[in-house]
Amino acid sequence: AQTVTQSQPEMSVQEAETVTLSCTYDTSESDYYLFWYKQPPSRQMILVIRQEAYKQQNATENRFSVNFQKAAKSFSLKISDSQLGDAAMYFCAYRRHQVGGGADGLTFGKGTHLIIQP
Amino acid sequence: DTAVSQTPKYLVTQMGNDKSIKCEQNLGHDTMYWYKQDSKKFLKIMFSYNNKELIINETVPNRFSPKSPDKAHLNLHINSLELGDSAVYFCASSQPSFSGYHYEQYFGPGTRLTVT
């Protein structure tokens, strides 16, 4: 069974600085997807960024980028120019690829609580 | 327009009661899910439905029964509620692309269930 590990329960960063959140995963699959979700105090789950395992290029969405190391099974999230609105729980998630679509749920890590210091 | 909606957002009830949480998505997705987030914020899949058919039941007690009247709705019924059922329950939906590649799951706002 696949597992997702986030080793940092909490991280703190100064506003406008850069922070990196770590995520490692374990799977025997070769084709899968990885995601970072953000959960602010409102508790809404918001997709931040996704990465398809077959793509070598790291995904980027504005101030958010990932460092995807498939061989090392590592998927870290970098947030540049941190803003107060980035304060939230961040969850790393995994889903295997299924031919024909399938209906697997996401496997989540335990989350990292990100604090932004003004 | 809300993509995935859940009602109610908050639910407080006593042990032993039966309750339901409703979920609706207007995204035209074929697949819907229920997740449970415990007090430590850990999220775990409970069920998934594809075109009204149950696909996954992740060792959830049979007091929990999902029901899908149509592919836009997936409701969660919980019988004989226990203290340990207190959690936030999220509904989500997704749609596989023609190639079979799934993209992200869209989550509802969550329902905080408190059992006293």
Spatial distance between the Cα atoms of B25 and B114, rounded to a whole number of angstroms: 24
Q: Using one digit for the tens of pLDDT, what is the confidence trace for A30-71?
A: 889 999 999 999 999 999 999 999 888 999 999 999 999 999
Structure tokens at A106: 């996401």
As a whole-number percent, the residues of chain B with pLDDT over 90 amount to 66
Phi, psi of A84 (to 5 degrees): -55, -35
Residue B51: half-sphere exposure toward Cβ, Cα within 13 Å:
3
Q: How many CB atoms neighbour CB A32 within 10 A?
A: 20
Residues B32-60 pLDDT 10s: 999 999 999 999 999 988 877 787 777 88
Q: Which residues of chain B make contact with A107, given a CB cutoff of 8 A?
A: 45
Helix (H, G, I), strand (E, B) or coil at A13: strand
Q: Which residues are registered as beta bridge partners of A65?
A: A60, A78
Tell me the count of A-B CB pairs closer than 8 A: 73
pLDDT beyond 60 at A88: yes
* Sign of the dihedral through C-alpha B49, B46, A99, A35: positive
* Contact list, B110 vs chain A (CB under 8 Å): 43-45
**Among all residues of chain A, which has the CA nearest to that of B34?**
A105
Rounded to 5 degrees, what are φ and ψ at A85? -70, -10
d(CA B84, nearest CA chain A) in Å: 19
What whole-number distance in Å separates Cα of residue B21 and Cα of residue B104?
A: 23
CA A12 to CA B48: how far, in whole Å?
A: 35
Q: What is the pLDDT of residue A72?
A: 96
Contact B41 A39 (CB under 8 A): yes
User: Hey, is A84 helix, strand or coil?
Assistant: helix
- pLDDT value, residue B101: 53
The per-residue b/e assignment along B60-90, b for 16 or more CB within 10 angstroms, e otherwise, is beeebbbebeebbbbbbebeebeeebbbbbb
Q: Using CA coordinates, name the residue in chain A closest to B46.
A: A105
Predicted pLDDT of residue B5: 96
